[in-house]
Structure 1
């Protein structure tokens, strides 16, 4: 039992609505008090505001080849300012803590949009934004009919104008972003993130459109002319970017002041970037020490071999999935709801069987030897399981929010937690793989922070990671560096730091409940509550407000930019 605090958030958060008045009263500005707003508008009105915001946000970024023209971006900035101006008028100081959690989560979502519109500005700084948008078009399965065919044809015909506008928008391109985009235009990533399988990976965006044209020539010839015109526009964009590259010298990172603001106001972290580096350095050393001693302990055992066939790998996946499901049930680790599919094929998995001329890349070096570490993290009860439970969260606010500290933290938390709970007692060499994952996540945390603070570039970060991480190859290092410098800041550090926050929450809850603590109930709470920042979940579950107390004071982003 989770006790009185543990009613489901969908019930707990709607149990009271604060003040019954919905009258507009802006109250006292949050930044002036460092306390929850004490206006007059109630929780029901707040929920309605968020629903309006969420509908606007989804519409603003909807569709392939979204509009990033200066006038449209300015309109979005103004609309966001109007939403943010509403926040001080709510009676948050008189709401219960579950509702206060929702308020901070919504405020953080608006701050994320503010940061995107005014700091990261990918449409102006990152040509890879346009490359990614177009490459997803090339994944379309043919033949198409009806509305789907008409939509693809319209999208293909829009590409020349889209890339012409991109050249106008891209007026502050960062050097690392330009280099990553040029690579992505003409080279495969060697990893296959989100791509359909091909025995020979197409050479970047150019190669994927050639792949689309080749399929259209056989399956849908009426599209070939539009595809050829799109290819010409893509080649022109690539040539323009290559010619303009010498003048593209801006830093890709947001800088330390903006990064620390983002950690506090958007990620709602209890740490600043210096503290995160210190924590990550300690974790890097700890995982390396554990890896070293585990290797010594296993020195007389044979190394884990790579499988020799797809059939052998599929059998390993099936056995791994069955073993983990049985362990979760037998050891009372987490509830497996009846809506979760019963086979790993239905749930899905990360790494298909691929034979690469150069040998397996990093993730395959681990996954092919033993699927358990990644299956826990990414499949069961990691991301795919997590996503299926999240889809059942009905709360009008929490169902829309997904923080990477909670999602990636959960995936990483599962790996070492499973080791500590004995899942790998009969697989000593697999314990080494768990530590290798830990090493890479800690190294990525350091690289993430230092890239965003402009203390390391992509190439330097790749070298740093490869120097620390067994099996790591250039392709995986480049893809990950690109992800963590291009996504909203701090994504790369949320694996290690999010897992540490979940461990802290586990400790807090165990100390709070004593012998009444249930690990299964703790994990079920995480699955059924919504994927909020862990600092908010800590307050929501335990009532401990030492971290939340530091989050109430809201510093506007404009103060950081002006400074």
Structure 2
């Protein structure tokens, strides 16, 4: 593995920025000499930073009018000007004189503004991704009928607004990327076989159009007065699909943000000490490690019976109940983490990721793993993972930390739990389950490579799907397509934050253990993560340990407008 090229070094920043001349449209790119390598030394105090962030956090999510957000060019330009007014205030704060915990908050606030800057000027989903509009209108079709009162008024207003909304979408979508177009066309007429956030149907509706057929069928029986509005909305969605199909030959733009922009995002928004090249190196090593341990587990367990799929819902839910009880007891016995009294006490109260579904083509990837043994995903997504994390996170009252959720922390922590539990012996009595832990690890590592290469426009969605399937046991087309779409369409780097966030948390644990020696308590470490806010891991690392090396390079801030000559 070649040496890691850490973006923390000034020379690396210069290389990243200089390489962006094509996207800079010929404009000279400022070097690192223009970026302060120390905290701002203005006059404004910490309470003013809190007030500024509160205003920004309330502003950054525009409010819909009649259920629709305005993405017209004039509105977007106005929001760009307003964001610049927020950002212009950041150098005015006396950050150099604050304690490290307040400095952490400043860096978190700056990163949040940088992320919104990137959204407005680089990713621009309203102009590049028709799937944004498809997702929005499809969710409306999940409504439970019959409705009355305000809920009925809201649904009817939204339905009646869809034709105009999609006509405006066709105006806004002036730079549609090829992969985005293909994903949207597929989603309009095909079920994804995964069902993120969708109500259960024995036969999944055929995409957004199919969901409006589903809504029409229910309305005819339960609320006939809605039928004309639903039918008109469905017709507008079909027209939108036909517009996309007809225009697809002209939609040839790349979907990724490009390597230099991705590296800027890693440094200034993700606040990671790695370049995209570094992340590919780390992920490739992690992929090889996970595959090696998977192969060794298969050898070790060669005399053990294979885990079988359950045959009934009752059998699966019995497994869920037993797994939930086992994990909760283990968390207490192992002194792993504090379980507050307000945490729901049972699996059905807490919720879980994969309901029992009988699919015509058989279980998809996640079900192939979870139906065999729900333990890996229950750790990741339920307790002490996402749902547990969410219950505690909603009680963080800090005015800055309580309003930020970085996926390096949330997904990195949830993934960290899987192999950590294995290493601490949770699966000593379930040898075949250890194989499932490594299958999850394989998929997270290979997704990291795909995430980077899609965003750098080195791989298309179809190429990424094929690459993932070559490496990952049980992986099917539907899950591969859905995940490729998720990690291409979300803020850059979401897909890699599982593996890289886990790596950062492991380093944080190492540094804290070495700092405290035998006084280190694992439970205290995990309780800190839960109760301090879901900030980028580098900031939590500094906040907890005081190790300035993990944030020192972050003070060398290069605004997006300088780095990419955004006008």
Q: TM-score, normalised by structure 1?
A: 0.94
Question: What residue is the counterpart of 1:5 in the other structure?
Answer: none
Say if 2:563 is the partner of 1:539. no
Question: What residue is the counterpart of 1:254 in the other structure?
Answer: 257
Report the Cα offset of residue 31 of structure 1: 5.0
Following TM superposition, where does structure 1 have runs of at least 4 consecutive aligned residues deviating by more than 4 angstroms? Answer: 60-64
Say if 2:491 is the partner of 1:485. no
Unaligned stretches of 5+ residues in structure 2: 1-31
Report the Cα offset of residue 62 of structure 1: 8.3
Change (3 A) 1:30 1:78: farther
Question: What residue is the counterpart of 1:44 in the other structure?
Answer: 47
Contact 2:401–2:533, Cα closer than 8 Å, also in 1:
yes
Question: What residue is the counterpart of 1:24 in the other structure?
Answer: none
Question: What residue is the counterpart of 1:20 in the other structure?
Answer: none
Contact 1:30–1:36, Cα closer than 8 Å, also in 2:
no
Aligned counterpart in structure 2 of residue 32 of structure 1, from 30, 35, 41:
35
Question: What residue is the counterpart of 1:26 in the other structure?
Answer: none
Change (3 A) 1:559 1:62: farther
Aligned residue runs from structure 1 range 483-562, under 5 A: 483-562=486-565
1:214-250 CA-partner distances (Å, limit 9, x unpaired)? 1111111111000011011111000000000000000
State the SS of the aligned residue for 1:33. coil
- Aligned Cα root-mean-square deviation (Å): 1.2
Change (3 A) 1:110 1:493: same
State the SS of the aligned residue for 1:144. coil
Say if 2:397 is the partner of 1:394. yes
Report the Cα offset of residue 61 of structure 1: 6.8
Say if 2:126 is the partner of 1:115. no
Report the Cα offset of residue 553 of structure 1: 1.1
Unaligned stretches of 5+ residues in structure 1: 1-28
Aligned counterpart in structure 2 of residue 139 of structure 1, from 132, 139, 142:
142
Question: What residue is the counterpart of 1:168 in the other structure?
Answer: 171
Report the Cα offset of residue 561 of structure 1: 1.9
Report the Cα offset of residue 33 of structure 1: 2.1
1:67-101 CA-partner distances (Å, limit 9, x unpaired)? 10111111110110000001000000000000000
Aligned residue runs from structure 1 range 109-258, under 5 A: 109-258=112-261
Quote the Cα distance in structure 2 between the aligned partners of 1:247 and 1:102. 45
Contact 1:365–1:471, Cα closer than 8 Å, also in 2:
yes
Aligned counterpart in structure 2 of residue 286 of structure 1, from 285, 289, 301:
289
Say if 2:457 is the partner of 1:454. yes
1:357-381 CA-partner distances (Å, limit 9, x unpaired)? 1110000000000000000000000
Quote the Cα distance in structure 2 between the aligned partners of 1:549 and 1:368. 45
The total of aligned residue pairs comes to 535
1:118-163 CA-partner distances (Å, limit 9, x unpaired)? 0000000000000000011001111111111111101000000000
State the SS of the aligned residue for 1:402. coil
Question: What residue is the counterpart of 1:440 in the other structure?
Answer: 443
Contact 1:30–1:552, Cα closer than 8 Å, also in 2:
no
Say if 2:327 is the partner of 1:324. yes
Contact 2:412–2:499, Cα closer than 8 Å, also in 1:
yes
State the SS of the aligned residue for 2:506. helix
Say if 2:367 is the partner of 1:374. no
Contact 1:65–1:130, Cα closer than 8 Å, also in 2:
no
